[in-house]
Each structure stands twice: as structure tokens, then as C-alpha cells.
Homo-oligomer: A and B are copies of this chain.
Amino acid sequence: MGGPRFEPVRAVRAYERVVEQIEEAVESGALTPGERLPSERELMVQFSVGRSTVREALRVLQARGLVRSRPGDPNGAEVLPFSPVVLKKSMTTLARVSELSLGELVQFRMVLDATAVLLAARLRTEEHLAEMAAAVDDMKAADAADAAAFGAADAAFHDAVARAGGNKLIQVCTDVVRAVMAGLVEDRLARAPDREALMRRGVAHHEDVIAALRAGDGPLAARLTRQSMYDYYAGHLPAEERAALRALLE
């Protein structure tokens, strides 16, 4: 008793150790985006593992969005800047396997987008406001039949708001959830009979939000944002989910 307390060891795969080392180098900043990893044959020498081990490690790193490798590239795998595509992917998986309802997604965005505008009311600059106004102009200019252009402009607006709010986590999450929602319901929305009216109302709402932000009235901007989200999606929700959403309109 009182001897050394040995810890149970779990067999850790060779490729995992390769992943850990490269991952640490990337996340710590020792490798910056745009830099290149050594070639696979060079890596197998440095780690003293086989090439298949190196390749499996690179696949995992690629799946995590940290590097990208192309066939024949003499420079080796490229270190990538952070991108939310991996988050989007795993959240899309979450939506599919746990069967997230549209109502849950709308609820999530109602809360986070409203928070973003609330924060933006304190921190917004003239540049931010100009970006938002430009996005709204694009929404107006979009052909009524071109749902993709309208959606892209809408996304640009919300991204500008989120950036103005200054919380990168909220910015990424709203972006991810918006993309997931678009993938789930874009065709349904594009065929809605009252689509044009919804689009016009959305533009008007966005202009009201800009006015509130310019005036520095965060709570008003947040209310407008929640109401806008509710109006846009409520028609596509069953009654009980609509009720859950109204609980957030305060």
C-alpha cells in the first residue's frame, strides 16, 4: 500500500499519435494557415510509421478541417484557416439523427440573433451599418423568383449584425444553424404561395432593425428580430411549436 498508483493504459493507435502531434502544432499556432506539411513520405520518416498510418492521420485531420491534401501537390498538405464547415456538418448530423424539428432550430436562431442585435446596438460602427444597409439593398434588388440571391443577401445581413455584436461564437452558431435550416426547408419556402409577401415583410423588418441599431435601442432591435423570425417561419410550423416560439416573443 502506498506504492505508485499505476494508471490504466488504453491502447492508442499509431495514427492517433500522429494526429495529436500535428493537431497540437496547428492549434497552438506553430503551423499557420497556408503553411505546408511535409510530404507523406517525409512524415513517415519523421514519425517512423508506415505510409498508410500517415495517410489515415491526414484523413482524420482533413475530416476535422485542419488540413487539405491534393493529389500530386509537391508541397504537401496545406494547413487551413478555421472554417465552420465541420461545425455545420456535425450539426447537420445532429439535426438528422436526433430529428431536430424546424421549431427547435427557429427557436435557437430567434434567441441568438436577438442577442446579436442587442449586443450590436452597443458596439455597431458606421461600417457595420453600411454593410447591413447594402445587404438589405441586395435583398430588395433580388428577383422575386431568385430565392438563392435573396437568401444570400439575408445571410449577409445577419452576418454583419453578428459581427457587429462582437461575439464570434454567436456569429458562427447562427451562421451554422441558418445553413442547416436552409438545407432543410429552402424548397418548401421557395414554393410558399405567400413567399413574395414574406420577402417584402422581411425587408421592412430588417430596415426597422437598422433604424433601431442606429438609434442605439438594443431591446427594440431584439424584439423586432424575434418577431421577424417568427413571422417568417410560423406558417410552416405546427400549432404547438408556434406556441413554444411565442413564449420567446415576451
Chain A residues at the B interface, C-beta cutoff of 8 Å: 11, 15, 26-28, 52, 55-56, 59-60, 62-66, 71, 82, 84, 86-87, 89-91, 93-98, 100, 104-105, 107-108, 111-112, 115, 118-119, 122, 166-170, 172-173, 177, 218-219, 244, 247-248, 250
> How far is A89 from B60 in the complex, measured between Cα atoms in Å?
13
Number of copies: 2
> How far is A111 from B107 in the complex, measured between Cα atoms in Å?
12
Q: Does A94 lie within 8 Å of B172, measured CB to CB?
A: yes
Distance to closest chain B CB from A94 (angstroms): 6
Residues of B within 8 A of A11 (CB): 71
Q: Which of these, B86, B122, B167, contacts A108 with CB under 8 Å?
A: B167
> How far is A218 from B26 in the complex, measured between Cα atoms in Å?
44
Q: Does B167 lie within 8 Å of A247, measured CB to CB?
A: no
Nearest B residue (CB) for A89 = B64
Assuming the contacts A52-B52, A90-B90, A169-B100, asked whether A115 and B248 have C-beta atoms less than 8 A apart, the reply is: yes
Q: Does A119 lie within 8 Å of B244, measured CB to CB?
A: yes
Residues of B within 8 A of A250 (CB): 219
Residues of B within 8 A of A247 (CB): 118-119, 122, 218
Residues of B within 8 A of A108 (CB): 167, 169-170, 173
Residues of B within 8 A of A56 (CB): 55-56, 59
Q: Does B118 lie within 8 Å of A248, measured CB to CB?
A: yes
Distance to closest chain B CB from A222 (angstroms): 10
Q: Does A167 lie within 8 Å of B107, measured CB to CB?
A: yes
Residues of B within 8 A of A64 (CB): 63, 89-90, 93
> How far is A173 from B169 in the complex, measured between Cα atoms in Å?
11
